[in-house]
Amino acid sequence: FAPITNGAPKATSTALFGGVGIWYSSSTGNTETVADYIASAAGGLDYNDIGDATTEEIEGADALIVGAPTWHTGADEQRSGTSWDEWLYDTLPSLNMDGKKVAVFGVGDQQSYTDNFCDAAGELYDLLSAKGCKIYGLTSTEGYDHQASKAIVEGDKFCGLMCDEDNQYDLSEGRAQSWIAQLKDEGFF
């Protein structure tokens, strides 16, 4: 990078990462907490509610980090119960997402909803993959204790970073930091 001199345009944190935006939704704040851990781990990215996203912000980004909680237990479609539901089914179909780099995170409760842990993250993965996005940041299911999850892909991996603010809130920040390091290794940034 060239040194920033007086009068020169200042590089923003987003520019440093080549235009990576974090998009999430949240009913009780947990997904926002995790979005904040991810943003800090990446050196200060912006994070905003997907319900407020414009077409330009999504199509114009080099890469997207997307995160959802699960509230519609057992649902096949519209699993999140947040603004993601409308965005995935009403907005995404008309967007050009071909080749876009995407990393997914989910927030759920592996004890109370052990058969549906972070199901909505799997829906983000499925629909964004189907739109031609390239998904980065798959993780191991080790260290979690759930029966089933629609966020599991390729046989035995989570489709991204899964956090549990109900039972493992003390692990989320470290998990976010490891995941960002993994995304850097994979060339996401």
Short-list 31, 40, 43, CA closest to 162: 31
Spatial distance between the Cα atoms of 1 and 28, rounded to a whole number of angstroms: 40
Q: What is the smallest separation between the CB atom of 178 and ligand FMN, expressed in angstroms?
A: 20
Applying CB under 6 A, which of residues 22, 30, 101, 128 lies at the interface with ligand FMN? 30
Spatial distance between the Cα atoms of 35 and 163, rounded to a whole number of angstroms: 11
| Burial status of residue 12 (CB atoms within 10 A of its CB: 0-12, 13-18, 19 or more) | exposed
Spatial distance between the Cα atoms of 185 and 42, rounded to a whole number of angstroms: 13
Q: What is the smallest separation between the CB atom of 60 and ligand FMN, expressed in angstroms?
A: 26
**Is residue 109 part of the contact set for ligand FMN (CB under 6 A)?**
yes
Applying CB under 6 A, which of residues 4, 13, 18, 29 lies at the interface with ligand FMN? 29
Question: x/- binding map, residues 116-145, to ligand FMN, per CB under 6 A?
Answer: xxxx--------------------------
**Is residue 47 part of the contact set for ligand FMN (CB under 6 A)?**
no
Applying CB under 6 A, which of residues 12, 13, 27, 111 lies at the interface with ligand FMN? 27
**Is residue 93 part of the contact set for ligand FMN (CB under 6 A)?**
no
Pairing mode of beta strands 134-136, 101-107: parallel
Applying CB under 6 A, which of residues 69, 122, 137, 160 lies at the interface with ligand FMN? 69
**Is residue 80 part of the contact set for ligand FMN (CB under 6 A)?**
no
Report angle CA 15, 38, 127 to the nearest 5 degrees: 85
User: Is residue 143 helix, strand or coil?
Assistant: coil
Which residue, 35 or 97, is less far from ligand FMN as judged by CB? Answer: 35
Q: Give residue 103's Cα distance to chain centre.
A: 5
Which residue, 72 or 131, is less far from ligand FMN as judged by CB? Answer: 72
Q: Could you list the residues that contact ligand FMN (CB under 6 A)?
A: 26-31, 69-71, 73, 107-109, 113, 116-119, 165-166
